[in-house]
């Protein structure tokens, strides 16, 4: 809050300056930024460059005038108790503001990070009249998650945590495509290619694998290979797809049990990484809900789609986009394309038309929240099976939907563009629909080597579930866990194996989460099992280590009754001279709310991960240069202990938003 106060103060002053020139903010939209050279000051403004044109003077002249004439005479900025200590200007015409560190630090100690004022804005979630829906993960339930899926799930989960912490009401949806070709492929494998379904979970765990891995590695990949030599299987697949349209068919029931087993295993992986969801949406139920029929008639009646009579799309219902060309929605055999099925789901998420679902209990998650699944409403209360089931609008209040965020591989951006176009033409506020596209995760040469795949003329390769080119999420995580176990054991020989295992688990989860959010969405990630999951440098471990060291000091302070913090400190702030290390750390701690807001506004977790890493760096600096237990000056030591407390608090908050475990030992 303090940093924001300073910015507001500068803002006000500059607006007063503008009135001196008989101008206002809308005419001169100046900015207040932080100069990258520390000596210039804490904040600076470009106002003189903007005024130069209007006043026909050089920026330097104007800066001189503002700093030496307007500001001193109007007495608006610099006063003895204010947070701004000095204003100066520098070629080519920046005005720089320097914070009065003593006043600032004084404010910091008074306010602290535990003061509710620190994030008052973020408290009234339940009163919010806005609701944000995030869809993420959405992996086809025919295989285990690979590291590419992790990028999706972790971005989504971090966004959920960021928006929640920033005071937004958020629900998370996981879309389960249980009636598509990919699921049909493994059903073909089970029913017609002789693969066994009888392997039960005990047998699987004896083989150190899970049902989702079994389906992905054995059934999905091998069935796809069989299609080459056995075209009859492809015909069987089409039959299965048809049969899946009838929810009461034997095939549907069989598929349901398979999908459920895979899904439960996929969720184990997601939960293991501390992702959580509110609702599972099954595609089969969107289809059964007949939402498509409602939308189809609107699309047809409004002339948004048309029936093609000639040419390659003859016999199909087609949407024609001016920008993106034509897209078939209904095939000539009357089945829907993948794209068409996406429309009712998007429309449902935006809260238009009716809501055909009630929500049934599915599972209790790692954070003890309940995960629900969609269930078609038939005739009121008869659909309820248990007391845990929820009423229609109690999980998602569609009247409050303000934004729908879909996290999706950027290869699907074109279709998402089309979707947004159609939503607009249907008369919906398509600006509420945001798809967040991220570039895929690809495999490095050494990752490919470890899979025994060799590719000519390339040093990386896209993953493919169908071709068996991927690194499984569970594998990557357990690999990292083994490495951190060795490291933890080495550093803490006195700990029991259980403790080492639990610590290593937290370290590896944190490392994976941090790794997948620190890149820009627009950058491909080349995944390398060794280099990507490092434990040194710009990693979660670095941050955890900083926290653990700090926590250790804090514990020792308490154990030794070393200091009675907060006693006898009133009004002594002025006499202390804090080092630049300490002041830099305090200032950074005070930026927490600004950074959180920015991460929320930009819908970008990377903002927060950068902030957190820098915070840990400044803390490590402080740790080296400002000893507490060894400091002989008791007052100074007490202040440092306060800085420590506050920093640890913000570190912890920030870490929990990204999903990095604050460990006391590691």
List of residues 6+ apart from 85 with CB closer than 8 A: 78, 98, 99, 100, 101, 103
90 token code pair: 């520098």
Classified as helix, coil or strand, 439 is coil
Cβ 226 to RNA shortest distance, Å: 17
Could you say which of 2, 158, 535, 651 contacts RNA (CB under 7 A)?
535
How many Å apart are CA 408 and CA 438, to the nearest integer? Answer: 6
508 token code pair: 């590896």
- Using the minimum distance from each CB to RNA, give the nearer residue, 558 or 629: 629
List of residues 6+ apart from 534 with CB closer than 8 A: 511
Residues 351, 363 contacting (CB under 8 angstroms): no
- Using the minimum distance from each CB to RNA, give the nearer residue, 163 or 371: 163
- Using the 8-state DSSP alphabet, how is residue 270 labeled? H
How many Å apart are CA 285 and CA 655, to the nearest integer? Answer: 38
Residues 130, 400 contacting (CB under 8 angstroms): yes
Classified as helix, coil or strand, 32 is strand
Could you say which of 469, 553, 600, 657 contacts RNA (CB under 7 A)?
553
How many Å apart are CA 354 and CA 309, to the nearest integer? Answer: 32
Give the sheet arrangement for strand 32-33, strand by strand: 32-33, 43-45, 94-99, 84-90
Could you say which of 196, 394, 602, 633 contacts RNA (CB under 7 A)?
602
Cβ 492 to RNA shortest distance, Å: 7
Residue 138 sits in the site that holds RNA (CB under 7 A): no
Residue 519 sits in the site that holds RNA (CB under 7 A): yes
Residues 31, 7 contacting (CB under 8 angstroms): no
Residues 618-637, mask of contacts with RNA (x by CB under 7 A): --xxxxxxxxxxx-------
How many Å apart are CA 595 and CA 587, to the nearest integer? Answer: 12
Residues within window 181-200 making contact with RNA, judged by CB under 7 A: 181-182
Residues within window 235-294 making contact with RNA, judged by CB under 7 A: none
Cβ 535 to RNA shortest distance, Å: 4
Could you say which of 9, 85, 487, 649 contacts RNA (CB under 7 A)?
487
- Using the minimum distance from each CB to RNA, give the nearer residue, 367 or 536: 536
- Using the minimum distance from each CB to RNA, give the nearer residue, 247 or 315: 315
User: How far is residue 561 from each of residues 112, 626, 629, measured CA to CA in Å?
Assistant: 21, 19, 11
- Using the 8-state DSSP alphabet, how is residue 68 labeled? I
- Using the minimum distance from each CB to RNA, give the nearer residue, 68 or 196: 68
* CA 135 centroid distance within chain: 11
What torsion do the CA atoms of 485, 487, 492, 493 make, to the nearest 10 degrees? 80
- Using the minimum distance from each CB to RNA, give the nearer residue, 354 or 665: 665
Give the CA diameter of the chain. 90
Could you say which of 140, 224, 251, 255 contacts RNA (CB under 7 A)?
140
How many Å apart are CA 467 and CA 470, to the nearest integer? Answer: 9
Residue listed under structure tokens 């069987």: 236
Where does this chain touch RNA (CB under 7 A) — which range of 4-12, 156-164, 174-182, 388-396?
174-182
Cβ 389 to RNA shortest distance, Å: 29
Cβ 615 to RNA shortest distance, Å: 11
Peptide bond before residue 478 is cis, with ω within 30 degrees of 0:
no
Could you say which of 15, 64, 111, 538 contacts RNA (CB under 7 A)?
538
Residues within window 571-600 making contact with RNA, judged by CB under 7 A: 598
Residue 537 sits in the site that holds RNA (CB under 7 A): yes
Residue 142 sits in the site that holds RNA (CB under 7 A): no
Cβ 182 to RNA shortest distance, Å: 6
Nearest Cα residue to 282 out of 370, 382, 375: 375
Cβ 642 to RNA shortest distance, Å: 13
Query: Using H for helix, E for strand and C for coil, what is the string for 286-316?
Result: HHHCCHHHHHHHHHHHCCCEEECCCCCCCCC
Could you say which of 12, 110, 320, 491 contacts RNA (CB under 7 A)?
491
Where does this chain touch RNA (CB under 7 A) — which range of 126-134, 264-272, 412-420, 652-660?
412-420
- For 441-476, give the DSSP string: EEEEHHHHHHTT---TT-SEEE-BTTTTB--BHHHH
Residues 304-333, mask of contacts with RNA (x by CB under 7 A): --------xxxxx--------xxxx--xxx
Beta-bridge partners for 44: 33, 96
- Using the minimum distance from each CB to RNA, give the nearer residue, 135 or 278: 135
Nearest Cα residue to 175 out of 289, 273, 277, 291: 277
- Using the minimum distance from each CB to RNA, give the nearer residue, 233 or 507: 507
Cβ 365 to RNA shortest distance, Å: 26
Residue 117 sits in the site that holds RNA (CB under 7 A): no
277 token code pair: 């969801």
Residues within window 15-74 making contact with RNA, judged by CB under 7 A: 31, 35-37, 39-40, 44, 46, 49-50, 52-53, 59
- Using the minimum distance from each CB to RNA, give the nearer residue, 183 or 657: 183
Dihedral sign from CA coordinates of 133, 139, 144, 147: negative
Residue 208 sits in the site that holds RNA (CB under 7 A): no
Cβ 112 to RNA shortest distance, Å: 20
Cβ 488 to RNA shortest distance, Å: 4
Where does this chain touch RNA (CB under 7 A) — which range of 5-13, 78-86, 145-153, 606-614?
606-614
How many Å apart are CA 15 and CA 25, to the nearest integer? Answer: 7
Where does this chain touch RNA (CB under 7 A) — which range of 347-355, 367-375, 407-415, 588-596?
407-415
Nearest Cα residue to 553 out of 627, 487, 604: 627
- Using the minimum distance from each CB to RNA, give the nearer residue, 2 or 503: 503
Residue 98 sits in the site that holds RNA (CB under 7 A): no
Dihedral sign from CA coordinates of 338, 341, 345, 346: positive
Residues within window 441-480 making contact with RNA, judged by CB under 7 A: 458, 462
Could you say which of 259, 286, 525, 650 contacts RNA (CB under 7 A)?
525
Residue 556 sits in the site that holds RNA (CB under 7 A): yes
Could you say which of 284, 447, 484, 638 contacts RNA (CB under 7 A)?
484
Residue listed under structure tokens 């306010």: 111
- Using the minimum distance from each CB to RNA, give the nearer residue, 90 or 451: 90
How many Å apart are CA 637 and CA 631, to the nearest integer? Answer: 6
Cβ 333 to RNA shortest distance, Å: 6
Residues 356-395, mask of contacts with RNA (x by CB under 7 A): ----------------------------------------
- Using the minimum distance from each CB to RNA, give the nearer residue, 214 or 545: 545
């Amino acid at each position: 809050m303090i940093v924001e106060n300073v910015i507001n103060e500068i803002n006000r002053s500059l607006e007063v300056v503008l009135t001196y020139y008989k101008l206002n903010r809308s005419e001169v939209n100046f900015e207040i930024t932080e100069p990258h050279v520390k000596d210039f000051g804490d904040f600076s403004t470009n106002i003189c460059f903007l005024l130069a044109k209007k006043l026909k003077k050089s920026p330097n002249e104007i800066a001189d005038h503002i700093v030496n004439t307007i500001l001193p005479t109007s007495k608006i900025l610099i006063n003895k108790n204010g947070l701004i200590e000095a204003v100066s200007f520098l070629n080519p015409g920046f005005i720089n503001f320097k914070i009065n560190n003593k006043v600032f630090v004084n404010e910091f100690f008074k306010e602290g990070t535990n003061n509710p004022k620190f994030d008052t804005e973020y408290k009234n979630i339940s009163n919010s009249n806005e609701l944000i829906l995030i869809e993420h993960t959405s992996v086809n339930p025919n295989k285990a998650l690979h590291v590419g899926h992790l990028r999706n799930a972790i971005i989504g989960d971090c966004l959920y945590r960021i928006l929640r912490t920033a005071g937004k009401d958020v629900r998370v949806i996981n879309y389960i495509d249980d009636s598509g070709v990919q699921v049909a492929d493994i059903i073909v494998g089970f029913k017609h290619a002789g693969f066994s379904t009888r392997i039960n979970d005990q047998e699987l765990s004896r083989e150190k694998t899970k049902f989702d891995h079994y389906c992905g590695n054995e059934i999905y990949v091998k069935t796809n290979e069989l299609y080459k030599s056995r075209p009859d299987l492809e015909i069987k697949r089409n039959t299965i797809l048809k049969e899946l349209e009838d929810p009461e068919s034997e095939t549907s029931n069989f598929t349901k049990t398979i999908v459920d087993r895979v899904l439960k295993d996929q969720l184990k992986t997601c939960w293991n990484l501390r992702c959580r969801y509110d609702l599972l949406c099954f595609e089969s139920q969107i289809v059964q809900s007949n939402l498509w029929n409602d939308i189809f008639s609107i699309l047809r009646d409004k002339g948004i789609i048309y029936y093609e009579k000639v040419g390659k799309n003859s016999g199909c219902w087609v949407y024609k986009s001016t920008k993106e060309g034509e897209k078939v929605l209904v095939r000539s055999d009357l089945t829907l394309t993948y794209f068409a099925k996406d429309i009712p789901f998007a429309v449902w998420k935006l809260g238009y038309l009716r809501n055909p679902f009630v929500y049934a209990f599915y599972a209790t998650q790692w954070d003890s929240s309940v995960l629900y699944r969609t269930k078609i409403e038939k005739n009121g209360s008869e659909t309820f099976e248990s007391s845990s089931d929820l009423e229609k609008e109690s999980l998602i209040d569609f009247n409050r939907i303000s934004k729908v965020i879909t996290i999706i591989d950027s290869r699907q951006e074109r279709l998402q563009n089309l979707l947004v176009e159609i939503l607009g033409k249907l008369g919906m506020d398509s600006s509420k629909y945001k798809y967040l596209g991220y570039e895929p995760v690809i495999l490095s040469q050494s990752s490919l080597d470890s899979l025994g795949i060799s590719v000519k003329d390339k040093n990386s390769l896209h993953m493919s579930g169908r071709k068996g080119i991927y690194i499984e999420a569970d594998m990557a995580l357990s690999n990292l866990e083994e490495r951190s176990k060795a490291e933890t054991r080495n550093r803490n020989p006195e700990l029991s194996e259980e403790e080492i295992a639990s610590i290593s688990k937290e370290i590896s989860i944190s490392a994976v989460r941090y790794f997948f959010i620190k890149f820009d969405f627009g950058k491909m990630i080349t995944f390398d099992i060794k280099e990507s999951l490092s434990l040194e440098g710009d990693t979660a471990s670095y941050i955890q280590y900083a926290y653990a060291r700090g926590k250790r000091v804090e514990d020792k302070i308490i154990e030794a009754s070393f200091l009675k913090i907060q006693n006898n400190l009133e009004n002594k702030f002025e006499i202390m001279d804090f080092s630049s290390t300490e002041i830099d750390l305090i200032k950074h701690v005070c930026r927490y709310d600004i950074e959180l807001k920015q991460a929320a506004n930009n819908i970008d977790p990377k903002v927060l991960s950068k902030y957190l890493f820098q915070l840990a760096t400044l803390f490590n600096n402080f740790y080296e240069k400002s000893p507490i237990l060894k400091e002989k000056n008791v007052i100074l030591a007490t202040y440092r202990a306060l800085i420590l407390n506050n920093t640890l608090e913000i570190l912890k908050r920030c870490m929990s938003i990204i999903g990095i475990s604050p460990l006391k030992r590691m």
